[in-house]
Amino acid sequence: MALDTRAAAARVLAEVLAGKSLNQALPPMLDKVSPRDRGLLQQLCYGSLRQAPRLQAILDQLLTKPLRDKDRDVLGLLLCGLYQLEDTRIPDHAAVSATVAATRALKKPWAKGLSNAVLRRFLREREGLLETLEEAALAAHPPWLFTAICEQWPNRSATIIEANNQQPPMILRVNSRRCSREAYLLQLKEAGIPAREGELSPDAVYLEAPRDVAELPGFAEGMVSVQDEAAQLAALLIAPAPGERVLDACAAPGGKSCHMLERQPELGELVAMDVDPQRLSRVEQNLERLTLQASVVVGDGSNPPAELAVDSFDRILVDAPCSASGVIRRHPDVKLLRRQEDVESFAGQQLAILKGLWPLLKPGGKLLYATCSILDGENGAVVRQFLNATPGSQLGRLQGSWGEATETGRQLLPDPHGADGLFYSLLEKS
């Protein structure tokens, strides 16, 4: 028997509240609800998390005492209920009724009265409750992140916050080995799928509305992949030449590796490395679907495996682990899972990876440093520290006038109608 959709959402949110990522918590639950309800489950989970800081601030006013850790599922259910009332077209009475009914599926009958009382009180006192919220809560961001965005990007903060709180566009990367963008747009038109060209990447296509990849012409045959336009810039910026040896040092799930191979069919070798063997299997799956060849290696960039020799790569791409502050709209659990101190922790890891990989780069070679962060602590600050500590390193010039120019590179900011927020910096070895 299929699980109640709102109970399923409550359990997913409970796992995220306990520290698990949405990517870990949601997929198993999708199999437990009716196929027709999977879309609703995704909407409830993603939407509740995008608005979680605001919904939690409202809930704090409605609960007389905090719920116990073992009742995180009830907390998740209440957040889901408030999300339906605040941010969906579900009629209020239906949202309340369905949410209250879900307490039975959670096997917590005591929560029935609580859920009913909380949601109905919100409906009665909505205006007054919202008036008491602080600015960060109204913006649906944790205070530390809201402050950081406003301080670092004072003229763009409203746009960034708007983008972070929206469902992102679905963006495709056309495989230039198989098809031109113009030809693929024509195929989409013939299939009745509205789409438009991207502005930053010659391979980018924006869909008017998200689609199951199974509905996309030629997807199974490797004609197209799903990849944000900002991420597509990596292959264009690193621009490997025929015969060169390239290392994608943090490769999983493989989108950037595959794009480099699509753009430059005559590469000498591409090595796709990642510290996580399980995530590397995604790289292998993508290579297979696209009929591309690469050497896949398990390894940590801060301490590369011995098989990767010194001075052996012409180009290195470092898509470093980070706070994901530039892709919150795709990973809304970041709002709950990340803390201010994580930025410093990631910066240390990023610097260690740069230092570990630098000896592998040939003299005259180029290293492209990328993050999906909009915070200087993970971007410019890391690059500056690396340059100051590394003789023979210097900044290279990035092609194009996209995004925002910074002291150390260029920064794309999340765009409600465009690309994600990514940072790029080009380092050259003398």
Positions marked active-site: 372
Report how far residue 228's alpha carbon sits from residue 242's, in angstroms, rounded to the nearest whole number: 26
Distances (CA, A) of 378 to 332, 373, 375: 19, 7, 6
Cβ(11)–Cβ(76) below 8 Å: yes
Report how far residue 418's alpha carbon sits from residue 329's, in angstroms, rounded to the nearest whole number: 12
Cβ(287)–Cβ(281) below 8 Å: no
Q: What is the torsional sign of CA 410, 414, 420, 422?
A: positive
Report how far residue 61's alpha carbon sits from residue 133's, in angstroms, rounded to the nearest whole number: 10
Total Cβ atoms within 10 A of residue 261: 25
What residue type is 281 in one-letter code? S
- Among the listed residues 275, 272, 298, 276, the one whose alpha carbon sits nearest the alpha carbon of residue 286: 272
- Alpha helices by DSSP H, 273-339: 277-289, 334-337
Structural tokens at position 168: 């992102």
Report how far residue 30's alpha carbon sits from residue 41's, in angstroms, rounded to the nearest whole number: 7
Report how far residue 275's alpha carbon sits from residue 302's, in angstroms, rounded to the nearest whole number: 10
> At a CB cut-off of 8 Å and minimum separation 6, what does 70 contact?
none
Cβ(170)–Cβ(93) below 8 Å: no
> What's the maximum distance between 2 C-alpha atoms anywhere in the chain?
70
Strands (E), 171-312: 171-174, 195-197, 204-207, 224-226, 245-248, 269-274, 295-298
Structural tokens at position 50: 């995008």
3-state helix, strand, coil in the chain (%, to 5): 50, 15, 35
